[in-house]
Structure 1
Amino acid sequence: MRDGIRHRRNATIVWMGFICGMLSLTLPAHAISRITIEAETVEAPSVSLRKVKGELGLDGRVRLQADLRQQGSADWQALTLACDQALRPVPDEWRCERGGLKAANVKLPFSLLLKQGKAAAAQYQVALTLRDASFSNQAGTQAAEKLNADLSLELRQQANGWQWQAALDWRSGELYSQPWYFAEGGHRLVASGYYAGDEIKVDAAEVTLAKVGKAALSGRWQAGSLQDLSIDAAQLQLAPLYHLLLQPLLADSALNKLDIAGQGSMKFEWRNGEPVSALLALNDVDLEDQDGRFALYKLNSHIPWSYDEAQVAQLAYAGGHFLKIPLGEASVLADLNRYSLTMSQLYLPILDGALSLTDVSATRAAGDWHWHLRANLVPISMPVLSQALGWPRMEGKVAAAIPMVTYSRGNLTTNGDLLFQMFNGNISVSNLSMQTPLGAASRLHADVQMRRLDLGDITRTFSFGAIEGKLDGDVANLELSNWQPVSFDARLYSSPGSYRKKISQRAVENITALGGAGAAAAIQRSVLRFFSEFNYKQIGWNCQLRNDVCLMSGVEYTPQGYVIVKGSGIPAITVMGYNHNVGWSDLLARLKRVTEGNSKPIIK
């Protein structure tokens, strides 16, 4: 016998009928063999259903078919929810041993257990097991493969709501939820709380992340917004934590490519929709940027924060480096007062010198950090610094006075000139500004002025051939992108005044290799080949860099080209340049060749 019951009513009646139909499996077989429920449409907050058809049979089969449309989508997708083996072994219990949910890009095989308690207050237990489940959405922001998990839920009705307990054991499988990707299982969640109306409360929860550690949580959501949250996580393993949760959030920052090791702990309190307190502790942490920009070793910290009370933050490290410059051991103390940080002085050892910072302050406003400081570079030996940077050996010391530096919304600017002492002369940097200094797309703008640099020190340092004299220089409108030159207007010229001016034959050859074309040949064809050095009156070289091309000129123009070295006295020599436009990368390659060995001049 086949009986049918067909209703077209609102969504609430449809689902009540579906549940009642499942319970009707307890009736004698001769009463009903199949129940069919249909509805034209069913509306829910996030999805819509149409052409809904549910069938329940006493042969142990349950099936629901419908077209589903997600909120914001115009496309309807076929949906099938079925149980091929539904059992009711004891009263108030229903099992589905072989169930499945299928839709476009969705395949969720499952088993399900439903229990109803016998107490006066309503009680329910649900146990769901997913077996090799897979799904993905059209936007590609959610996906899973071979997901195996167990979910249990217990509900007990209270006066105004429901007391609940839940456990999720993610045993294996891959899961992607933008921006996070979990390559394997082993994670677990156990929680309990209360639900009533628009409020969900988590009284206690424990999250276990495989290879990372555990965290205790509690919280409260009301009307769709987070009201309270407490997190207490101790001795977390930072390497897997970084790759699992933190790195995807730092994709556009300077911390997006780190090698990290060590342990960390954190606490966080959020009350009535506002942060209240926090604590971050690091224990012997090593972190290093994979691009070699910075590193800190044996980093330890105790950084408390409170909305209502001032706190003192402590941070120390045993060493590290910044842009290949080694950093010595240092310890930092800072005052934290709500959303501001201040330090009267900070002394950071660098090689055989140090960076001394004063008037350090930072504050967070309108979602962005703003900070400023003053700095002085205690003299550092140039031989030690040049070795650390992989440069040719330089003599002397470098010292600097750095005026007020301000950082705001990713932009760094200076109020005043940066002053350096190098090569027995002075270098000043003015109008300095930087965007995202440590980011992948960092940009720098500045003007550079050099005065009375010792050409003997410079040419000895870079194995260019000996030149005696003094050099001035101006680099205007310098722009670097990711620390590589994009454009500038550079002018190098002999300093005014009286001093010894000599240039060696090798230096002449190397200048020729960079852009001249007659001096080296003239030397070899004349009596000049017997002289090891020559007198000069003036040296000058200009480069206007645009679109990776250097427009070159010199001391003065001639019908044949331009003068780079203007001779004077006996013996004297004049070095000419004939190539006005030279590719910047080609020019750097030439410079590298002539400084790495006794290069032959390149004549064009």
Structure 2
Amino acid sequence: NGKVSVAVTGEQTGLIQSAADLGLLPIGWEFAGLDSIRMGLEAEKGDDTLFTGELVFQDLAFQNQDSSSMGEKVSLGVKIDGKLDPAGLIIAADTAINLDQGEVLYDRFYFNLKENPFFCSSKWSYNLRGRHLQLSNLRLGLEDILTLHINGSILKRGPDWRFDLSSKIPRIPLKPLFSHFILEPFKTEKPFLSGLDVEGAVAADLKFTGTGAKWTAKGFFRWYKGALLSADHGMSLKGIDLSLPLWYRNRMGKNPLERLKGVLSIRSMNLSLLPEQGLDLSLNAGPNLLAIPSPTLLKVPGGKIRVGPVAIKGLTWTSPSVNTSLTIDSVKIAPLLAGVWNRAVRGTINGKLDPIDFIKGNLKTAGEIRAKVFDGDVIFSDLGASGLFAGTPVFKVNARWKNLSFSELTAGTSFGRIEGVLNGYAKNLEIAHGQPQKFDLLLETVERDGTPQRISVKAVDNIAQIGGG
């Protein structure tokens, strides 16, 4: 009747060894496990050819040369059901892949597949003549952690494969994602992560277009009803709602005028050096760029400061850079020194740092900050830091002071009483571990009519200790 049916089944067929002999497995990797296979084919003249297949591995073990990737007692199942249109040379199929037993380590990422099985399924079609792959609801992820949906097409045009794909992560709790992909893999290297608590739900959508050599990704990452808390660092961010625009391009080109626009809203922001306050920011993104286009007013003890605009460039590169500025206008000193100085200090701080540049863990600034205090002026410039992401960051500053009243400066302190007018500087001051490690210091008194120049014995002793290290 012109109909053909074929069925093939097998167990422990040595499929892994056969794949190794044919060079189908990665060089240097070791594989072992029990396999079973089932295949079926049904063809009839003038009609579609139906096919089915199922491949199962039990107790699968694998390992690369340096043991940075390995798996033990893994259960892997692959299933496909489809048909071939012989006239149009179109294959259409449903495919599913599941790993639901065993343990897998990839670099520093560990997965218990019994607790969080990996799954992947999709409907797809492939036009053999046009070399056109169409994906319909490709769904993959780790159960109870992450799910990703992908739809779109991949098309061969000349020497290049062109793709137009839409991906979506539906709304999921943030805590399991943070634990598996950030906290556990990096907490030894970044100890501060252990004291970090996150809350809320996240989602994302990205559209990928282009070719393998030149492509673009655009979309949004969203954080709903979030919180970021760290008691160790005195940080509390609550009521976070974020729509973060993302735009990546793997090759530089002409920058378009359009921007992706997003927002960040924080109901309550409580940081160690700032009073509690809310925050609302507008965000926009261009190719490899994220910006806060408007200045941001922040309350500080004694007044307000203005930060920005802010531009973050090269976000997806190994060395992103941040450019911004800081303006301080008549901020009162007394509240800033309330926890440091044992009495109220009159005075204000003014100045502007522009630009402020941050790259590769190093901070550089231009401009100066001037404090009118102790009847004189203290001017800070060249504020910066190096190794901010290292274990021992170094903070740097140049400072000079003029016409400071010694009596105002030392009154009520344990340093000892001094009278007179002080000028001087601290050049190339470097501070590490909370202690000065390098500086060029000059302290000099200036004669001033009506101002005595006197110093107590206690102050002399303390100055001698500073000079002697």
TM-score range (shorter-chain normalised) is: 0.7 to 0.9
The SS at the match of 1:272 is strand
* 8 Å Cα contact 1:327/1:351 also seen in 2: no
Greater Cα offset, 223-232 or 270-279: 223-232
Task: Indicate how the Cα distance of structure 1 residues 333 and 365 shifts in structure 2: closer, same or farther if over 3 A, else same.
Answer: closer
User: Percent of aligned positions with the same letter in both sequences?
Assistant: 17
Counterpart among 66, 70, 74 of residue 143 in structure 1: 70
Counterpart among 355, 371, 377 of residue 305 in structure 2: 355
1:464 aligns with 2:405: no
Tell me the CA shift for residue 312 of structure 1.
Answer: 3.7
Q: Which residue of 1 aligns with 2:107?
A: 178
Distance 2:243 2:284 in 1: 12
1:106 aligns with 2:35: no
Tell me the CA shift for residue 244 of structure 1.
Answer: 2.6
* 8 Å Cα contact 1:370/1:406 also seen in 2: no
Q: Which residue of 2 aligns with 1:35?
A: none
Distance 1:487 1:178 in 2: 40
Distance 2:337 2:232 in 1: 20
Q: Which residue of 2 aligns with 1:189?
A: 120
Distance 1:421 1:70 in 2: 74
Distance 2:286 2:428 in 1: 40
Tell me the CA shift for residue 341 of structure 1.
Answer: 3.0
Task: Indicate how the Cα distance of structure 1 residues 419 and 225 shifts in structure 2: closer, same or farther if over 3 A, else same.
Answer: farther
Greater Cα offset, 257-266 or 376-385: 376-385
Tell me the CA shift for residue 466 of structure 1.
Answer: 3.8
Distance 1:501 1:454 in 2: 11
1:313 aligns with 2:242: no
Tell me the CA shift for residue 155 of structure 1.
Answer: 3.7
Match of 1:431, as an amino acid?
D
Task: Indicate how the Cα distance of structure 1 residues 181 and 386 shifts in structure 2: closer, same or farther if over 3 A, else same.
Answer: farther
Q: Which residue of 2 aligns with 1:489?
A: 440
Match of 2:38, as an amino acid?
L
Distance 1:190 1:72 in 2: 24
Q: After superposition, what is the alpha-carbon deviation per residue over 1:451-471, rounded to whole angstroms, capped at 9, x for unaligned?
A: 344445554576434444444
* 8 Å Cα contact 1:422/1:453 also seen in 2: yes
* 8 Å Cα contact 2:120/2:141 also seen in 1: yes
Tell me the CA shift for residue 137 of structure 1.
Answer: 0.7
Q: Which residue of 2 aligns with 1:100?
A: none
Match of 1:218, as an amino acid?
N
TM-score with structure 1 setting the length: 0.59
Match of 1:153, as an amino acid?
I
Distance 1:392 1:133 in 2: 66
Tell me the CA shift for residue 240 of structure 1.
Answer: 2.0
1:242 aligns with 2:183: no
Q: After superposition, what is the alpha-carbon deviation per residue over 1:502-556, rounded to whole angstroms, capped at 9, x for unaligned?
A: 44555456x28x73xxxxxxxxxxxxxxxxxxxxxxxxx6xxxxxxxxxx4xxxx
Distance 1:271 1:152 in 2: 29
* 8 Å Cα contact 2:116/2:144 also seen in 1: no
Q: Which residue of 2 aligns with 1:18?
A: none
Q: Which residue of 1 aligns with 2:3?
A: none
Match of 1:281, as an amino acid?
R
Match of 1:292, as an amino acid?
H
Task: Indicate how the Cα distance of structure 1 residues 504 and 483 shifts in structure 2: closer, same or farther if over 3 A, else same.
Answer: closer
Tell me the CA shift for residue 111 of structure 1.
Answer: 4.0
Distance 1:243 1:329 in 2: 27
The SS at the match of 2:66 is coil
Q: Which residue of 2 aligns with 1:123?
A: 50
CA RMSD of aligned residues (A): 4.2
Q: How many residues align?
A: 432
TM-score with structure 2 setting the length: 0.74
Task: Indicate how the Cα distance of structure 1 residues 196 and 205 shifts in structure 2: closer, same or farther if over 3 A, else same.
Answer: same
* 8 Å Cα contact 2:392/2:433 also seen in 1: yes
* 8 Å Cα contact 1:382/1:393 also seen in 2: no
Structure 2: gaps spanning 5 or more residues: 1-6, 248-255
Q: Which residue of 2 aligns with 1:296?
A: 237
Tell me the CA shift for residue 165 of structure 1.
Answer: 1.9
1:262 aligns with 2:200: yes
Counterpart among 137, 151, 156 of residue 204 in structure 1: 137
Tell me the CA shift for residue 347 of structure 1.
Answer: 0.9
Distance 1:243 1:61 in 2: 38
Greater Cα offset, 138-147 or 425-434: 425-434
Counterpart among 75, 83, 93 of residue 164 in structure 1: 93
The SS at the match of 1:245 is helix
Match of 2:344, as an amino acid?
E
Distance 1:472 1:145 in 2: 71
Q: Which residue of 2 aligns with 1:278?
A: 219
Distance 1:366 1:305 in 2: 10
Task: Indicate how the Cα distance of structure 1 residues 305 and 366 shifts in structure 2: closer, same or farther if over 3 A, else same.
Answer: closer
The SS at the match of 2:415 is coil
Match of 1:487, as an amino acid?
K
Task: Indicate how the Cα distance of structure 1 residues 287 and 461 shifts in structure 2: closer, same or farther if over 3 A, else same.
Answer: farther
Match of 2:147, as an amino acid?
K
* 8 Å Cα contact 2:36/2:56 also seen in 1: yes
Greater Cα offset, 229-238 or 336-345: 336-345
The SS at the match of 1:318 is strand
Q: Which residue of 2 aligns with 1:416?
A: 367
Task: Indicate how the Cα distance of structure 1 residues 366 and 311 shifts in structure 2: closer, same or farther if over 3 A, else same.
Answer: closer
Task: Indicate how the Cα distance of structure 1 residues 496 and 447 shifts in structure 2: closer, same or farther if over 3 A, else same.
Answer: farther
1:479 aligns with 2:430: yes
1:447 aligns with 2:398: yes
Match of 2:200, as an amino acid?
G
Q: After superposition, what is the alpha-carbon deviation per residue over 1:139-195, rounded to whole angstroms, capped at 9, x for unaligned?
A: 223112333344322343243353232223332432222353324423433222234
Decide which structure has the larger Cα Rg and report it: 1
Q: Which residue of 2 aligns with 1:47?
A: none
Tell me the CA shift for residue 501 of structure 1.
Answer: 4.0
* 8 Å Cα contact 1:172/1:186 also seen in 2: yes
Tell me the CA shift for residue 475 of structure 1.
Answer: 1.9
* 8 Å Cα contact 1:413/1:432 also seen in 2: yes
Q: After superposition, what is the alpha-carbon deviation per residue over 1:248-284, rounded to whole angstroms, capped at 9, x for unaligned?
A: 6999999977432212222211222433631232222
Relative contact order (C-alpha < 8 Å, sep 6+): which is higher?
A: 2
Distance 1:181 1:454 in 2: 62
* 8 Å Cα contact 1:341/1:361 also seen in 2: yes
Counterpart among 328, 350, 357 of residue 377 in structure 1: 328
Q: After superposition, what is the alpha-carbon deviation per residue over 1:398-445, rounded to whole angstroms, capped at 9, x for unaligned?
A: 523123124264343323223334455432222344446456564444
Task: Indicate how the Cα distance of structure 1 residues 456 and 172 shifts in structure 2: closer, same or farther if over 3 A, else same.
Answer: farther
Task: Indicate how the Cα distance of structure 1 residues 203 and 70 shifts in structure 2: closer, same or farther if over 3 A, else same.
Answer: closer
Match of 2:103, as an amino acid?
E
* 8 Å Cα contact 1:426/1:450 also seen in 2: yes
Task: Indicate how the Cα distance of structure 1 residues 455 and 111 shifts in structure 2: closer, same or farther if over 3 A, else same.
Answer: farther
Match of 1:355, as an amino acid?
I
Structure 2 counterparts to residues 567-586 of structure 1, below 5 A: 580=468, 582=469
